[in-house]
Structure 1
Amino acid sequence: MSKSQVKEANVTPPVKGILRHLKWEHLVAGVSGGAASTLLLHPLDLVKIRFQVNEGAHTVGHVDRPEYRGIIHAFRSIQKSSGFSGLYQGVKPNVLGSASAWGFYFMFYNTIKTSMQDGDTKVDLGAGKHTLAASCAGLLTLVLTNPIWVVKTRLCLQYEANATSVKSEKYYSGMADALFKIYKQEGFRGYYKGFLPGMFGISHGAIQFVCYEELKTKYNNFKERPIDYRLNSAEYITFAAMSKILAATVTYPYQVVRSRLQDQHRSYNGIVDVLQKIYRFEGMRGYFKGMMVYLFHVTPNICIVFLVWEQVVSYSKDT
């Protein structure tokens, strides 16, 4: 064999090199955790979205939305108007979206991270490379799941008081009907409303995963253990909650902007228009509408997702 042939035989194509680190258990773990947490906590997500899009009484072109005095009042109002099933409006795309998003995110993130480590999980990548891996995973996941989030938002915003009276083109009988009508009325671009603020949201996932990884690494270093040492459930939950609360607090306004762009009852001329109108009519507080509900929702949510993920991965390594 010539030198050139030996050289070619030893060169691994970049894509193939990355794919050899792909572990399907991360996809399964993310799907399982995302589906379980969403089924349990969807009512909080529903209320959060309704708080996020409520512009207040002084906004020009005000939409006739239900008024809620707080989280408990919102639950009672929805349950009174639509029954218990009303609290699970939009749950199908939410389960599909959360399950697929967490599955893809964990799979992409761990494939990229392991590739950076060249297969050695004991290599400490540091905050910079963890940020890069999380950002790449977030972008890939957003591209694949944004249409599902548009449908979920719109189904959650079909208010029980006027659902039967709105024009047919603004009423969706379910997920398939929403997908069809969005494409018919808005074209393929309709599936990607809120995509740009969603890209800002990639920083949310990056902050969360960097904090989570660094907390685990520092903790294991403090205990004088390998950085890939398997922790107990309480430790995973603690680090997941701490990292999520920090990321949520820093990046929350992008979620308000994204929800408003995806709202079928209002029309904005882009991100800047949303930001200007929120500030003009609602002040700085408008950028944080629904945040308390979000924290109530997302803290147990992330604990369930990360715990299921870590347990499934641990089980797959033991078998």
Structure 2
Amino acid sequence: MAPISSHSVVEPSLPVPRISLFSHVRWQDLAAGVSGGVVSTLVLHPLDLIKVRFQVNEGPVGSSSIPTERPQYRGTLDAARSIIRQNGIRGLYQGVTPNVAGAGASWGFYFFFYNAIKNYMQNGDATQALGPEKHMLAAAEAGVATLLITNPIWVAKTRLCLQYDQARLPSGSAALQTHQYRGMVDCLVKTYKFEGLRGLYKGLTPGLFGVSHGSLQFMAYEELKKQYNQYRNVPVNYKLSSWEYIAFAALSKVFAATATYPYQVVRSRLQDQHRQYSGVKEVIRMTWRGEGWRGFFKGLSPYLCHVTPNICIVFLIYEHMTHNNRTPAS
């Protein structure tokens, strides 16, 4: 048998494998997001309730052209005292069920989709650093997918938070005598019954704009972690201390919240069962005419008081749960 020359053997070129989008999905991302969202919401729901009531209150800021029939508050503490005086401590937890469900589902799906997309961009290599534009793209895609799933829950949360004690409303508040809801499921059923599918997706348009909020937040958070780890000359996915996670989460949230807050006012007013607007443009026009630019930042103080510790709790729980099986690089 003739010897085979080494020159006659041709090594076939192997294709470079490319992972599919969900080939590296980690269910612990979903569980960690749900856990963080539920815990933070249970602790901080009263501030969220107060924020929503400020957002929809068309009471004049710089003009008296828009009458209001809602309870009036002089500030966050006055609102809390007034609600407790009228409805007890339970009054601060109106709408907590859909808020817990919405926050748990939103954070769970957000982290689930975001990390699946980011992992796809990294081709499965968690140590590969991504640029800020890719972090924003992954966060935007995750935000749209999450919003489409959870928007009906947020409609129910807003409406339950705005269910006032009818016996204690100012006289002549006929406009506020609307459907009364016994809970989240009853609210979802009645909204669909009287307003159809469109009712369950009120506020979707400004909510889609709000995806930019999550994109800015995650971009800032990831960039802070990346730059910090590069400064320390360790891998980009190196586990940080709890205080480092808290600091980066708080900084990224304040940055994103301040930049995008007006969309939340618009969304809350669209979802409010006590007022009817033809769409986003009318909300913007009426708010600007009656309250000026300050109207678009109503509720910002209780919002920042609510979301800053909220995001710290969510990200701290998430990072620790998803790093449990990782060993720090040496």
Task: Please give the range of the TM-score, normalised by the shorter of the 2 chains.
Answer: over 0.9
The reply to whether residue 159 of structure 1 matches residue 164 of structure 2 is yes
Distance 1:163 1:198, change over 3 A: farther
Distance 1:162 1:272, change over 3 A: farther
Distance 2:24 2:263 in 1: 32
Match of 2:108 in 1: 103
After superposition, the C-alpha distances for 1:208-246 in whole angstroms (9 at most, x for unaligned) are 000000000000011111111110100000000000000
Work out the CA distance in 2 between the residues paired with 1:163 and 1:180.
Answer: 27
Q: Which residue of 2 aligns with 1:71?
A: 76
- 1:3 is aligned to none
Q: Distance in 1 between matches of 2:197 and 2:253?
A: 32
Between structures 1 and 2, the one with greater helix share: 1
- List gaps (5 residues or longer) in structure 1: 1-5
State the alpha-carbon separation in 2 of the partners of residues 264 and 180 from structure 1.
14
Give the drift of 1:264: 0.2
Q: TM-score, normalised by structure 1?
A: 0.92
C-alpha separation in 2, matches of 1:162 and 1:215: 50
1:81 to 55, 71, 86: 86
| Cross-structure match for 2:248 | 239
Shift of 1:161: 4.2
Q: Do the aligned partners of 1:253 and 1:287 also contact (CA within 8 Å) in 2?
A: yes
| 1:168-216: CA deviation from partner (whole Å, max 9, x where unpaired) | 8511111111011101100011010000000110000000000000000
Partner of 1:256: 265
Partner residue, 1:45: 48
Alignment partners' CA distance in 2, 1:254 and 1:162: 32
2:25 is paired with a residue whose SS is: coil
Aligned equivalent of 1:18:
21
1:116 counterpart (109, 116, 121): 121
- The runs of at least 4 aligned residues of structure 1 exceeding 3 Å deviation read 9-12, 57-60, 161-169
CA distance in 1, matches of 2:110, 2:77: 33
What residue number does 1:206 align with? 215
Q: What CA distance in whole angstroms lies between the structure 2 residues aligned with 1:143 and 1:31?
A: 17
Q: Deviations over 1:122-175 (max 9, x none)?
A: 111101111110000000000000000000000000012448997885111111
In 1: Cα distance, 2:242 partner to 2:121 partner? 27
Residues 81 and 161 of structure 1 are in contact (CA less than 8 Å); yes or no, is this contact kept in structure 2? no
Q: How does 1:1-319 map to 2 (within 5 A)?
A: 17-57=20-60, 58-60=64-66, 62-162=67-167, 170-317=179-326
Secondary structure of 1:315's counterpart equals coil
Quote the Cα distance in structure 2 between the aligned partners of 1:39 and 1:313.
Answer: 22
Q: Check conservation: 2:178, 2:274, Cα contact below 8 A.
A: no
Q: Distance in 2 between matches of 1:113 and 1:148?
A: 27
Q: How many pairs were matched up?
A: 309
Q: Please list the CA deviations of residues 236-284 of structure 1 after superposition, one character each: whole Å capped at 9, or x if unmatched.
A: 0000000000000000000000000000000111111000111100011
- Structure 1 residue 317: Cα displacement: 3.4
Matched letter for residue 173 of structure 1 = R
Tell me the distance in 2 between the aligned counterparts of 1:300 and 1:233: 13
Q: Distance in 1 between matches of 2:101 and 2:125?
A: 33
Aligned partners of 1:42 and 1:161: how far apart in 2?
Answer: 22
Identical counterparts, % of pairs: 56
Deviations 1:1-22 (A, max 9, x none): xxxxx99x9798x9x8111111
Q: Is the contact between residue 26 and residue 313 of structure 1 (CA under 8 Å) also seen in structure 2?
A: yes
Counterpart Cα distance in 2 of 1:133 and 1:308: 21
The alignment's C-alpha RMSD in Å is 2.1
| SS at structure 2 position matched to 1:74 | helix
Contact 1:169–1:181 (Cα < 8 Å) also in 2: no
Tell whether the 8 Å contact from 2:207 to 2:267 is kept in structure 1 after alignment. yes
The match for 2:8 is none
